[in-house]
């Protein structure tokens, strides 16, 4: 296998597990769950809370930076950046990013409305605790920063992982939103990378790392610009990703595990240090993920599944409408009253959500491929 093939397959191998990681962290939560109008909290289930500490340390925050890096690298790989190239790439990104972004936010809005107010779903939703209040401003916010103005909950907290107005109504699509903005900036990014070289990427890295320490309200674009530009820099300058990342395979593995364990320790004894540890962990996680994927391919431990790789974006954009409802359904069916019962609910929710979305993807791929191309942004 040539280096280009190995590089491409390593990136493809990462796509599906990264999507599943995002799905898992959006499933597991200790913030509580509203089922049939009653809020369940997990304060008395310490083992389940401890499991969440491990998930936070090893999984949370790892996928999106890698996605940005891959996007930046792929955007510039193997082409000369001319005016015609930019126009062609922008046109492609309208199909692969912009159209799916609006479609999936609309689908999410409709699904919330139907499930919330349809009597068929009243068994496990809090229909009586939500009111619908339409305004043009709240409707438009669904596509940028949703202000929770369309569906007003009477409860003290929102029943969602995304409970602040920095996300569209389909929460995980903040990644796609920010990526669209970065792609629009690529002519400027290309010029800056060509003239300032790696110094520009390092500057963005410092901004990304230190912004959390200042009381500056941002939408998180610093992450998108840093990791996208890092990937773009390596692509524009024809850097050998395999040589660059894989020479740190052992070191990145040791550092990644060490930082994860430190994050767990800090969660108990030094919570103020968790953000710093997580920032370092995310940075090391990129090295670890790519070098580990390359190692698995080189050793023949696994192969890239074209089906799973192609399904990864579909899982990412659709999963948030499924996992919360699947968790509620499992909670009702199992009625857990112990740490292991609650853990079973969440593990089953992850597994069944992935299986369901893969099944839907297969059905669309088999019987409605044209529709799938639109929904999944496929060319």
CB atoms within 10 A of CB 41: 10
Query: CA–CA separation, 102 vs 105, rounded Å?
Result: 5
The whole-angstrom separation of Cα 157 and Cα 300 is 48
Q: How many Å apart are CA 34 and CA 72, to the nearest integer?
A: 39
Question: How many angstroms separate the Cα of 16 from the Cα of each of 12, 227, 232, 285, 315?
Answer: 8, 19, 22, 16, 9
Q: Which domain holds residue 339?
A: 3-375
Task: Give the DSSP letter of residue 35.
Answer: E
Q: 185-218, pLDDT tens digit by residue?
A: 999 999 999 999 999 999 999 999 988 777 666 6
For residue 260, name the pLDDT band (cuts at 50, 70, 90). very high
Q: Which two tokens stand for residue 347?
A: 């593990």
Question: How many structural domains is the chain composed of?
Answer: 1
Assign 379 a pLDDT band (cuts: 50, 70, 90): low
Pure H helices in the chain: 3-27, 46-58, 63-76, 83-93, 99-117, 136-141, 174-184, 186-196, 198-210, 221-236, 241-246, 249-269, 274-298, 306-318, 320-334, 339-367, 369-375
Give residue-wise pLDDT tens across range 151-167: 765 443 444 555 555 78
Where helices occur in 40-98 by DSSP H, the ranges are 46-58, 63-76, 83-93
Q: Per-residue pLDDT tens for 173-189?
A: 999 999 999 999 999 99
CA distance 209 to 307: 36
Of 197, 191, 184, the closest CA to residue 233 belongs to 197
Mean pLDDT, rounded, of the chain: 87
Contact 263, 277 (CB under 8 A): yes
Please tell me the number of Cα atoms within 13 Å of 116 on its side-chain side.
18
Give the confidence band of 8 by pLDDT, cuts at 50, 70, 90: confident
Q: Which residues pair with 131 in a beta bridge?
A: 152
């Amino acid at each position: 296998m040539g280096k280009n093939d190995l590089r491409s397959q390593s990136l493809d191998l990462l796509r599906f597990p990264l999507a599943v990681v995002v799905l898992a962290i959006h499933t597991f939560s200790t913030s509580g769950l509203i089922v049939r109008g009653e809020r369940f909290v997990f304060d008395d289930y310490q083992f389940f809370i401890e499991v969440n500490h491990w998930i936070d340390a090893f999984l949370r925050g790892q996928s999106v930076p890698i996605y940005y890096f891959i996007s930046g690298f792929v955007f510039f790989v193997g082409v000369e950046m001319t005016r015609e190239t930019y126009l062609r790439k922008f046109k492609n990104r309208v199909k692969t990013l912009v159209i799916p972004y609006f479609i999936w936010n609309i689908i999410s809005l409709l699904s919330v409305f139907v499930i919330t107010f349809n009597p068929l779903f009243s068994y496990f939703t809090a229909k009586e605790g939500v009111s619908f209040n339409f305004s043009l401003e709240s409707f438009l916010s669904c596509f940028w920063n949703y202000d929770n103005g369309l569906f007003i909950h009477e409860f003290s907290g929102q029943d969602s992982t995304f409970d602040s107005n920095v996300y569209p109504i389909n929460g995980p699509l903040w990644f796609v939103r920010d990526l669209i903005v970065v792609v629009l900036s690529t002519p400027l990014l290309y010029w800056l990378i060509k003239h300032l070289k790696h110094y520009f990427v390092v500057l963005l890295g410092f901004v990304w790392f230190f912004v959390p320490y200042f009381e500056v309200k941002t939408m998180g674009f610093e992450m998108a610009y840093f990791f996208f530009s890092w990937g773009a820099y390596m692509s524009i300058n024809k850097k050998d990703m395999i040589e660059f990342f894989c020479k740190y395979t052992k070191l990145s593995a040791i550092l990644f595990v060490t930082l994860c364990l430190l994050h767990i320790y800090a969660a108990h004894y030094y919570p103020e240090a968790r953000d710093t540890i997580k920032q370092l962990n995310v940075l090391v996680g990129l090295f670890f993920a790519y070098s580990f994927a390359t190692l698995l391919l080189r050793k023949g431990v696994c192969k890239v599944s074209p089906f799973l790789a192609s399904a990864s974006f579909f899982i990412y954009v659709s999963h948030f409408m499924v996992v919360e409802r699947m968790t509620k359904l499992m909670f009702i069916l199992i009625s857990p009253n112990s740490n292991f019962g609650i853990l079973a609910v969440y593990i089953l929710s992850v597994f069944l959500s992935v299986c369901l979305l893969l099944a839907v993807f297969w059905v669309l791929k088999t019987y409605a491929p044209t529709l799938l191309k639109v929904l999944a942004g496929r060319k």
